Structure 1
Amino acid sequence: MDGDGERIEATLALRRSGRGAVGRDRIRLLEELSRLGSIAAAAEAVGLSYKGAWEALNAVNNLLPRPVFAAQSGGRHGGGASLTAEGEALIRAFRLLEDRLERVADLLSAGSPGLDPPLLLSRIGLRTTAGNAIRGRIEALRPDGVNQAVTLRLNQTVTLTALVTADSAADLALTPGQEVTALIAASVVVLAPGPARPASSAANALPGRVARRDDGPVGSAVTIDLGEGKTLSALVTRAAAEELALAPGDPVWALVQAAHVVIAID
């Protein structure tokens, strides 16, 4: 117990080879998906909307080297889903480490000498409002004196270019081969339907297929499957989504200006 009689709770953020964090809520969602065999049922079990569950699962896939689940077609009330071997291994590793971390929390709650738990706990739990956090490996750095163009390899066929200042690149010590996270606001992603690459001044034209489209009264959230478990979310007006006739399975291009891509390191 701490000085106020409250127990300190440990929160685990699981990483693998420097990849982004996966927390308890997403692990529980994976567990329910494994148990129930349905994304809709798993979402209901953990108190998420169907859309929220998809976004959480896609976020896990984006931050890990291989997909953690496989879904079968059938829509909101049909089809099914199951965990891959990687998903099952992720759950086992997380729960094992969580058990060890709980023992550390017990020591902190007891007031171990030389530690300041409130200060320690206040510095964890970084979150971001960016709609997309996609893991990639730096493939090339191209300086022009003032800026650096950073090319990230997202999967075998898709790359993403970010434009950062030379000072920022130096501060982050960016180097080829380094794994980083690209943060992209969903509101800056422009969509162009069709199989042919559209003419555009955007540095990035990412090919994919519409995985989901969720319509609201004014706006639409569109999830684009980039392949190999990577997805990208876009927020467009409902009118634009209807005019473009965006539907699951349709080929689409995601256009993103290089200056709109933010690079984050671990």
Structure 2
Amino acid sequence: MKLEGRFWITHNGKDLAGERRIALLSRIDSTGSISQAAKAVGVSYKFAWDSVDAMNAAAGSPLVERSAGGKGGGGTRLTPAGHALIEAFHRYEREHQLFLERLGEDAGISSFLEIMERLRMKTSARNQLFGKVSSIQRGEVNDQVEFHLDSGDRLLASITNDSTERLGLEVGEAIYALIKASWVLLVDSDFAPNDPSDNLLRGEVRQTIRGAAETEVEIELPGGAHIAAVLSNEHADGLELSIGKPVAALIKASHIILGRF
């Protein structure tokens, strides 16, 4: 699983311990320049600096530092800790590859690796959905990422260009979506959204929990996925909710947080 500012060993080897960031560190070491390193790795200058800041913060001590200016001007260089991290990464990479090769021979375990990764997740978001990217529409500031859930339902998320790049999103990539229950608006099943980028997932009420001021509602989608919403008791009463009643969950594309395995 890949989370910003941390290094994780993934079971599919696509981003072993933050492979792209390690490549960035290696290029900084060889070129002495963040701008040249960013160009060589294929990322923006801003992404490179953000990555360096995140790595320095995650390590607890600087991995990259500015070198003093001289006749040729200042530059950027790795600290001893930065060199040690690169060396450790390559050791982990070799050992992890051997582990994967051994694990790949055991079909009874390898097929459950992604499920086990999902079970490790701990977030405050009530809704945690899993799927794969089906398309990415680039924009000047925000990108529209379409993905299909494991259940077959379709969702559209709006995230910044930098977020798309930071996550390394590509079509076919396995991702997860986090949606706070308070960001889900329940509407009548025949509701038609005005904004084409809004997500409308139709299903049936599965459970309601009423509190003093708010009601939590869980709906089940046709594909089997569940969506939870928290709404005011007044709104819930207006919908006349009951178990099995058809309803729809309206979710704005900007209210979906994406993560990548």
Taking structure 1 as the reference length, what is the TM-score of the superposition? 0.51
State the alpha-carbon separation in 2 of the partners of residues 223 and 16 from structure 1. 33
| Other-structure match for 2:238 | 243
Note the residue ranges of structure 2 that are not aligned, 5 or more in a row: 1-9, 14-107, 114-119
Computed over aligned residues only, the root mean square deviation of the Cα atoms, in angstroms, reads 2.8
Contact 1:193 1:246 in 2 (8 A): no
1:214 to 204, 209, 218: 209
Counterpart residue type for residue 225 of structure 2: K
| Other-structure match for 2:185 | 190
State the alpha-carbon separation in 2 of the partners of residues 243 and 181 from structure 1. 32
Q: What per-residue deviation string (whole Å, max 9, x for no partner) do you get for residues 160-212 of structure 1?
A: 11101111101110001111000000001001123x24334361111111111
Q: CA deviation at 1:148?
A: 0.7
Q: CA deviation at 1:16?
A: 9.3
Q: CA deviation at 1:227?
A: 2.7
SS of the aligned residue for 1:175 comes to coil
Relative to structure 1, the CA distance from residue 218 to residue 173 in structure 2 (aligned partners, 3 Å threshold; closer, same or farther) is same
Contact 2:127 2:227 in 1 (8 A): yes
Relative to structure 1, the CA distance from residue 17 to residue 200 in structure 2 (aligned partners, 3 Å threshold; closer, same or farther) is farther
Q: What per-residue deviation string (whole Å, max 9, x for no partner) do you get for residues 10-47 of structure 1?
A: xxxxx9989xxxxxxxxxxxxxxxxxxxxxxxxxxxxx
2:167 to 160, 166, 172: 172
State the alpha-carbon separation in 1 of the partners of residues 11 and 220 from structure 2. 23
Within the alignment, does 1:229 sit opposite 2:224 as a pair?
Answer: yes
SS of the aligned residue for 2:254 comes to helix
State the alpha-carbon separation in 2 of the partners of residues 188 and 16 from structure 1. 32
State the alpha-carbon separation in 1 of the partners of residues 125 and 151 from structure 2. 24
State the alpha-carbon separation in 2 of the partners of residues 244 and 138 from structure 1. 33
Relative to structure 1, the CA distance from residue 218 to residue 204 in structure 2 (aligned partners, 3 Å threshold; closer, same or farther) is same
1:199 to 193, 201, 214: 193
How many residue pairs get matched?
150
Counterpart residue type for residue 142 of structure 2: N
Q: CA deviation at 1:127?
A: 2.2
Relative to structure 1, the CA distance from residue 228 to residue 156 in structure 2 (aligned partners, 3 Å threshold; closer, same or farther) is closer
State the alpha-carbon separation in 1 of the partners of residues 193 and 167 from structure 2. 33
Contact 2:185 2:229 in 1 (8 A): yes
Q: CA deviation at 1:238?
A: 1.5
Counterpart residue type for residue 261 of structure 1: I
Note the residue ranges of structure 1 that are not aligned, 5 or more in a row: 1-14, 19-91, 98-124
Relative to structure 1, the CA distance from residue 198 to residue 242 in structure 2 (aligned partners, 3 Å threshold; closer, same or farther) is same
Rg (Cα) greater in structure: 2
State the alpha-carbon separation in 1 of the partners of residues 206 and 194 from structure 2. 23
Taking structure 2 as the reference length, what is the TM-score of the superposition? 0.52
Contact 2:205 2:247 in 1 (8 A): yes
